[in-house]
Amino acid sequence: MSERPTRLGVLERATLILDAFADAPGPLGLDDIAEITELPRTTVFRLLTTLRDLGWVHHDRRGYAPGRRLSAPTPDAEHLDLRAAASVTLNDLQLATDAVVHLSVLDGPVVHYLDKVGGARATTIPSRVGGRIIATDSVSGLAMLAVLAPEQVDTLVGRPDRTADGLAPLHHELAAVRRRKGIAILDGLPGTGITSMATAVPGPRGHRPLAAISVARRGHLPLPVVGPLLLAAARTTSRTLYPQWVPPQRGAVLRLA
């Protein structure tokens, strides 16, 4: 008795179609994809239409090609230049403060950690590269939010029920960050004794802050000592990426068109 051929499911057929682009020298035609996958032409056309609508496949007069979802850079690749520009500065800051230093970016309402430099103290701070935390719960997030206009913060955070007073306490915190020339502080986190400070790395005019640089340590961090070091590290990172651009004065609120 012969074995009955297994019928391919939708995911298997879609995978065959996406795999067809792996070694293709350029865009493929409908007939090319049908021949490579050995699927019926009508099936290939139907799946390509769905994959195009979802962003997995791009279609123009030349044919079909990988779409934005397949060709988009990974988050790490996207921030390689930023990490490279900050690398020496982060190490210098770690040596100068004897604290754990982080580089992070704002991803919607969330802070995404790109780098962590801690030396012997690295394991004393519960953070990791690739980790994420709600922006309003971190000094890095507060430092970056403080650069934005209030209405932009409201849109980005999207949490009007944060307290009984809405977002008023958050805006009060951000105003305090601006008064400290852009430095956010969390002194003695309950249960851990961790003190942390952060400031935003300014981006080119008209853009959101590039990132935030923060320092964290169990115990006290003196603002008069650590604050100027943080600000200098942020300026150095920004100038490394954009040598011809002069960062705005600290405390200014950025309004995007």
- Tell me how far apart the alpha carbons of residues 247 and 237 are, in angstroms, rounded to a whole number: 11
pTM: 0.66
Q: What pLDDT, in 10s, does the model give residues 152-169? A: 898 888 755 444 457 889
Q: What is the pLDDT of residues 189-202, one digit of tens each?
A: 777 889 999 999 98
pLDDT in tens, 220-250: 899 999 999 999 999 999 989 888 766 555 5
Q: Which is more confident, 187 or 147?
A: 147
CB 44 within 8 A of CB 28: no
**Cα separation of 117 and 162, whole Å?**
32
What ranges do the domains of the chain cover? 10-71, 75-241
Report how far residue 156's alpha carbon sits from residue 212's, in angstroms, rounded to the nearest whole number.
17
Of the candidates 105, 170, 100, the one whose C-alpha atom is nearest the C-alpha of residue 131 is 105
Structural contact between residues 177 and 183, judged by C-beta atoms closer than 8 angstroms: yes
Backbone phi and psi for residue 157, each to the nearest 5 degrees, phi listed first:
-75, -45
Topology adopted by domain 10-71:
Arc Repressor Mutant, subunit A (1.10.10)
pLDDT of 251 > 90? The answer is: no
CA dihedral for 157, 160, 161, 167, sign (positive or negative)? positive
How far, in Å, CA of 184 to CA of 178, rounded?
A: 8
Q: Which two tokens stand for residue 219?
A: 């115990």
Which two three-digit tokens encode residue 203? 């981006």
242 touches 207 (CB < 8 A): no
Instruction: Assign domain 75-241 to its CATH superfamily.
Output: GAF domain (3.30.450.40)
Taking all residues of the chain, what is their mean pLDDT, rounded to a whole number?
84
For 83, 87, 156, 216, the CA distances from 104, given in Å and listed in that order, are 9, 12, 17, 13
